[in-house]
Structure 1
Amino acid sequence: MKWNAHTTGQRIKLLRGAVTQEQLAEAAGLSVATIRKAEQDRGQLSLPTLLRLAHALGADISVIVGQQAPRRALLADDRLTLRSLSRTVHDTAAGLGTDREPVDFSGDLAAGWDAYRAGRIGVAGQFAASCVKDAATALADAPEGRRMTARGLLADAYRLASYVANQLGARDLAYAAIGHAADQARQAADPVREASVASGRSWIYLRDARLEDAAHTAEVSHTSIEPSYGDGDPVKLATYGWHVTFAAVVAARQGDTATADELLSQGSAVAARLGRDVMVNGTAFGPASVTAQAIGLAVSTGKPGKALELARDLHDHSSLHQAAQNRLQLDIALAQCDTRQYDTCLDTLLTVCTEHPEWVRHQTLPGIIAQRAGYATTSRSRKIAKIIGATLG
């Protein structure tokens, strides 16, 4: 029987295995009655409840809602991308495949990051595989005076590889690639790159339901580059602001709303100091990005009304890269669902799914939203289910 043919309750029970309902309830910080209702498919599960279950079961939310099998089934193109990426990451780490003529790969690396931020994960993976190989070759050929620069570029290529692997559900490869990125960034003696790698590792932990590790690593990522009071460098400020805001997201996933609010407040203060969204390595940080994260935090902590209020005040989010805009729309759709605006919610979700199907296919929220808002058989919910590969109900 296919994984997505089971009900959500059946999937929770299968993932629970020999663990009792009482033990799962204690691990998740939920009542036994909530676990029983979940396994009996009585009522819709909120995002905070799903986050707690994911942490306790050690599974991605998308596995619980049936969007992915416990071992994700990939499309043929995704498998080929992962195979090439895995071979390249492991070979270059072992010093293999670098005995060739170096080439200028800076344009390809930028294109890879652009593709990733636009939600074209497969294309980003193809660029990542070639750039890891080219960067490793460049490092092997670099004279002593240029080796630190070469290490920094290899760290960037490995980090892109880890992000693609994480999106495609290849967690082992994601861990390996981010580990190699950390090693190269450390040898490059580049604190900003090290902070970016730490933030990336935190995100991998987050998707792997390792919340304590995610929180610790996210803290390292922003405290290591905290600017001084008088530092007015916009790039430094934006980099710190981005990392401290992501740490707020991690704290919220842990259920630590006080810490999340404090960290978000720090990010908001930096954004206000900048007064505009500043681009750092292709990613914008400033008032719009902080508001977008605040909307996501409000949804994940059970405050959909506040999320929609913030969304109404966000008049221009064009500075956000496409994947961030997509995620913002998913958060808005979930808030609409939680406030019982089901038709509006499905309209918002269908727009994102139709315009960015490749990106949506690798996300968790569409399956959650579709299950909660699409219980009534409609043409919209059927279209959404087809795009994301999930069974509603």
Structure 2
Amino acid sequence: MPQWSDYSTGERIKILRGKQISQQQLANMTGLSLPTIRQAEQNRRLSLPTLLKIANALSVDTSVVLGQQAPRRAMEPDDRTTLRDISASVHDTAAGFLPSEAEPVTVVDLTAATKKAWALYWSGQYRELGSLLGLLLRDAAVTAETLEGDSALAVLGLLSDGYQIAACVANLFGARDLAYSSIGHARAAALRAGDPLRTARVDSARSWVYLRDGRLQRSMAVAEDAALAIEPRYSDQTPEQLTVYGNLLNHCAVTAARLEDEDRTGDFLSQLHAVGARLGREHDFHGARFGPYTAVTQAVGINVTIGKPGKALKLIESVKPTHLTGLADAARNRYQLDVALAQTDAKLYDSALDTLEGVLHDSPQWARHQALPAVIVQKIGSASTARLRRVSELIGVPAVGLDSFAPATMKTAL
């Protein structure tokens, strides 16, 4: 595949514009004429003012348009706008640059906004989430400055959630610097709120940031320390505590699998199932979701990672459609990708393509930020069929020669 720098500037503009934005729409977005846009895509008369306007409209830096820096994988115009909105919200709020006209709101309203933000994240509605996060972070920061006592602590907790959601989106989109800064702000707010469970939940997300950055030992240490700090006692436990604890154990199991430590992976999987059984059903707390079916579905992907597709397929047989109804959209989608990968490793290629195509059609926005679809296509690459080419087109990669894409990774669904 050509490198990003191999394309001409005009070709890069056309690629960044994508199918979502026509030349006329880009002209409207920039205030430039249609002939100017056409000439820019033909490498003619691309002045600096025109370049700046086009880069701003496409939500990229001019270095990306000029080929000095490649765009992030699978990043479409809406994604870039979302990421830029979230980045501005996080950095402005953390620096105290709040609009003078902003007024405090009620804790009830902030709680409702936070709940909606988590729902948008889990359902993969990132564009709407990007717009909401700016308001949530602003309102929480302004309100926290006006309150004292328990009310102030509650708002700081909600501010922590806002930062944490921003970190999760940034991590999913591959914006690692923004993920690190956001999760740092989330942890600071959780500590100020004096909420051990919320702090542990933030550490769960922090472990995921380290995992996707390839810092496996650090990811394991953060998740293990946080789990140990809130480990439930049989005589003193709550569903909220078990939910966050189970979520952390899941991160430990995923990371142990990535570290190829089969014994520790097995130990964590046993604990996962035990905590799921104690909960009895799926629970949601501070954005952490866990329960018996989460334990089973996550175990599928973990067994694939440690090279046990047969065991993964046996677990899949035990999962009924009704078991998946209590999971978030992202968790269900992630499970289906793990199913497809298990089927691929077992050489059940037709079944794998059925499963993969279902996810790509049902949740295209979510799927384009995942590495596994490309990995699955790569594994089936020897079976060069028309159907495989169709699936490849859905994820925007060729059926063969995918070495430039990310290798198979076990990414726990946050």
Check whether TM > 0.5.
yes
Q: Does 1:112 align with 2:117?
A: yes
Asked whether the equivalents of residues 283 and 321 of structure 1 are also in contact (C-alpha less than 8 Å), the reply is: no
Task: Determine which structure has more spread, i.e. the larger CA radius of gyration.
Answer: 2
Gap change, CA 1:190 and 1:378, over 3 Å in 2: same
Deviations 1:160-181 (A, max 9, x none): 0000111111110010000000
Secondary structure of 1:105's match? helix
Q: 1:79 corresponds to which letter in structure 2?
A: R
Secondary structure of 2:230's match? coil
Deviations 1:189-213 (A, max 9, x none): 1000110111101101111111111
| CA distance in structure 2 between the partners assigned to 1:154 and 1:257 by the alignment | 38
- Bigger shift: residues 374-383 or 194-203: 374-383
Q: Which residue of 2 aligns with 1:248?
A: 253
Shift, 1:283, TM fit: 4.8
Q: 2:274 corresponds to which letter in structure 1?
A: A
Gap change, CA 1:5 and 1:323, over 3 Å in 2: farther
Q: Which residue of 2 aligns with 1:97?
A: 98
Q: Which residue of 2 aligns with 1:349?
A: 356
Q: 1:102 corresponds to which letter in structure 2?
A: P
| CA distance in structure 1 between the partners assigned to 2:398 and 2:331 by the alignment | 26
| CA distance in structure 1 between the partners assigned to 2:237 and 2:111 by the alignment | 29
State which of 340, 344, 348 in structure 1 corresponds to 2:347: 340
RMSD: 2.2
Asked whether the equivalents of residues 251 and 259 of structure 1 are also in contact (C-alpha less than 8 Å), the reply is: yes
| CA distance in structure 2 between the partners assigned to 1:111 and 1:384 by the alignment | 33
Shift, 1:4, TM fit: 8.9
| Higher RCO (C-alpha 8 Å, min separation 6) | 1
Q: Which consecutive residues of structure 1, in runs of 5 or more, have no partner in the other structure?
A: 7-68
Asked whether the equivalents of residues 200 and 230 of structure 2 are also in contact (C-alpha less than 8 Å), the reply is: yes
| CA distance in structure 2 between the partners assigned to 1:243 and 1:88 by the alignment | 28
Gap change, CA 1:71 and 1:356, over 3 Å in 2: closer
- Bigger shift: residues 259-268 or 335-344: 259-268
Gap change, CA 1:134 and 1:389, over 3 Å in 2: farther
Asked whether the equivalents of residues 179 and 209 of structure 2 are also in contact (C-alpha less than 8 Å), the reply is: yes
Asked whether the equivalents of residues 124 and 329 of structure 2 are also in contact (C-alpha less than 8 Å), the reply is: yes
State which of 350, 353, 365 in structure 1 corresponds to 2:372: 365
Q: Does 1:377 align with 2:377?
A: no
Asked whether the equivalents of residues 98 and 136 of structure 1 are also in contact (C-alpha less than 8 Å), the reply is: no
Q: Which residue of 1 aligns with 2:193?
A: 188
Asked whether the equivalents of residues 129 and 161 of structure 1 are also in contact (C-alpha less than 8 Å), the reply is: no
| CA distance in structure 2 between the partners assigned to 1:159 and 1:387 by the alignment | 30
| CA distance in structure 1 between the partners assigned to 2:2 and 2:116 by the alignment | 37
| CA distance in structure 1 between the partners assigned to 2:71 and 2:103 by the alignment | 42
Q: Which consecutive residues of structure 2, in runs of 5 or more, have no partner in the other structure?
A: 7-69, 401-414
The within-5 A match list for 1:1-393 is 2-3=2-3, 71-72=72-73, 74-97=75-98, 99=100, 100-103=102-105, 104-281=109-286, 283-315=288-320, 316-393=323-400
Shift, 1:215, TM fit: 0.7
Secondary structure of 2:284's match? strand
Asked whether the equivalents of residues 370 and 392 of structure 1 are also in contact (C-alpha less than 8 Å), the reply is: yes
Shift, 1:5, TM fit: 12
Deviations 1:182-236 (A, max 9, x none): 0000111100011011110110111111111111111122111101121242222
Q: 1:250 corresponds to which letter in structure 2?
A: T
Secondary structure of 1:224's match? helix
Asked whether the equivalents of residues 81 and 122 of structure 1 are also in contact (C-alpha less than 8 Å), the reply is: yes
Secondary structure of 1:2's match? coil
Secondary structure of 2:307's match? coil
Gap change, CA 1:281 and 1:388, over 3 Å in 2: same
| CA distance in structure 1 between the partners assigned to 2:121 and 2:361 by the alignment | 18
Aligned length: 332
| CA distance in structure 1 between the partners assigned to 2:313 and 2:128 by the alignment | 33
Q: Which residue of 2 aligns with 1:64?
A: none
| CA distance in structure 2 between the partners assigned to 1:202 and 1:327 by the alignment | 18
Gap change, CA 1:382 and 1:129, over 3 Å in 2: farther
Asked whether the equivalents of residues 241 and 285 of structure 1 are also in contact (C-alpha less than 8 Å), the reply is: yes
| CA distance in structure 1 between the partners assigned to 2:203 and 2:254 by the alignment | 15
Gap change, CA 1:192 and 1:145, over 3 Å in 2: closer
Deviations 1:69-100 (A, max 9, x none): 68446211111111111111111111111532
Q: 1:109 corresponds to which letter in structure 2?
A: T
Shift, 1:282, TM fit: 5.4
Shift, 1:300, TM fit: 0.5
| CA distance in structure 2 between the partners assigned to 1:215 and 1:324 by the alignment | 21
Gap change, CA 1:255 and 1:98, over 3 Å in 2: farther
Q: 1:348 corresponds to which letter in structure 2?
A: T
- Bigger shift: residues 294-303 or 263-272: 263-272
Secondary structure of 1:279's match? strand
Deviations 1:36-62 (A, max 9, x none): xxxxxxxxxxxxxxxxxxxxxxxxxxx
